Amino acid sequence: MKLKNTFIAFCATASLVACNSISSNSTPLSAAALSAEQAATTVVFIHGAHLRGSAWQPVATELESAQIASHILDLPGRDNTVTPSSITLNHAAKALCERTNALPQPQVWVMHSQGGAVAHEALASCNKAEISNLIYVSAVAPIEGAKPFALLNKDDEDNYFKGVTYKDGWMKITNQAEYVASFTNTQSHSLKAKVWSQSVDEPAVTGEGKVYLNKTKLDAIPKAYVFAKEDKIISYATQQKIAQSIGATKTYSITSGHLPMITQPVALADAIKSALTL
């Protein structure tokens, strides 16, 4: 894998027309705040590298309490029984399409980290579902032939490799303490344990694919971006560059590390519900 070679602040920018700060103390939106069409929308959660889909469950539970239907998907490569070289970006995207094409529509895709690249490849190559909105949560968003991590910086790379090592086609978690410290800003022992329980080794080849999603096609879908302001894996500055590159029209900020779906699920759910009312 060539991941090391591909890794190379505030919200007010010309292309980001609004920025909202969401905290765990914010007032949740009720189902009544959503239109009938929005309430009927199916939210699809797409996880990132090193995570299981079930990491999204606390957020899904919050949405369900507001009568918002959601589906959690597991992308290929969540266990070591597969051949890692088979889990290409295109393979992951096809698996995503197979699942989402069969789900109720319209859909809102909520993507985290590398999940943004998988979603973009799906949009480019195989998606047949009606997508009404895209919501990025500290996610990469490659287009026009870019690799997933093209916009990440040297600090992002260094933090990632503190706990992860390439071996036999896998990005293996080889230092649990450093991995958890890089992927989250929490000091809570129970939350650190939850992060670890949802973590897996990742097929290396997935992050090496190129995404040929056309910018014009992406521009036709409304987009929101949720910043994790204390993220060390995809830094706040990197997230801002990504949000600008895709023309996100609404942004939200959470004081969180890379995994707000585990450490701040209520705040993240509130941001998603706010994005659904746009």
CA distance 48 to 56: 11
Q: What is the pLDDT of residues 115-136, one digit of tens each?
A: 999 999 999 999 999 999 999 9
Q: What is the pLDDT of residue 26?
A: 38
Q: How many CB atoms lie within 10 A of CB 203?
A: 28
Beta-bridge partners for 77: none
Q: Please list, in sequence order, all residues whose beta carbon lies within 8 angstroms of the beta carbon of residue 239, skipping any fewer than 6 positions away.
A: 138, 225, 227, 228, 231
Q: How many CB atoms lie within 10 A of CB 168?
A: 10
CA distance 134 to 109: 5
Q: Is pLDDT of 10 > 80? A: no
Q: What is the pLDDT of residue 277?
A: 77
Residue 202 token pair: 């990742």
CA distance 248 to 115: 17
Q: What is the pLDDT of residue 34?
A: 55
Number of domains in the chain: 1
- The pTM of this model reads 0.88
Per-residue pLDDT band at 38 (split at 50, 70, 90): low
CA distance 235 to 238: 5
- The residue whose two tokens read 């069969």 is 102
Q: Please list, in sequence order, all residues whose beta carbon lies within 8 angstroms of the beta carbon of residue 98, skipping any fewer than 6 positions away.
A: none
Q: What is the pLDDT of residue 278?
A: 55
Q: What is the pLDDT of residue 25?
A: 35
Sheet holding 164-167, edge to edge: 164-167, 170-173, 202-203
Q: What is the CA radius of gyration of the chain?
A: 17
CB-CB contact of 202 with 76 (8 Å): no
Full residue range of the structural domain in which residue 142 is found: 3-276
Q: Is pLDDT of 8 > 80? A: no
CB-CB contact of 162 with 179 (8 Å): yes
- The residue whose two tokens read 């490659």 is 142
CATH of the domain at 51: 3.40.50.1820
Q: What is the pLDDT of residue 153?
A: 95
Beta-bridge partners for 228: 254
Element (H, E) at 192: helix 189-197
Output DSSP code: residue 23: -
Q: What is the pLDDT of residues 71-113, one digit of tens each?
A: 999 999 999 899 999 999 999 999 999 999 999 999 999 999 9
Mean pLDDT, residues 175-197 taken together? 97
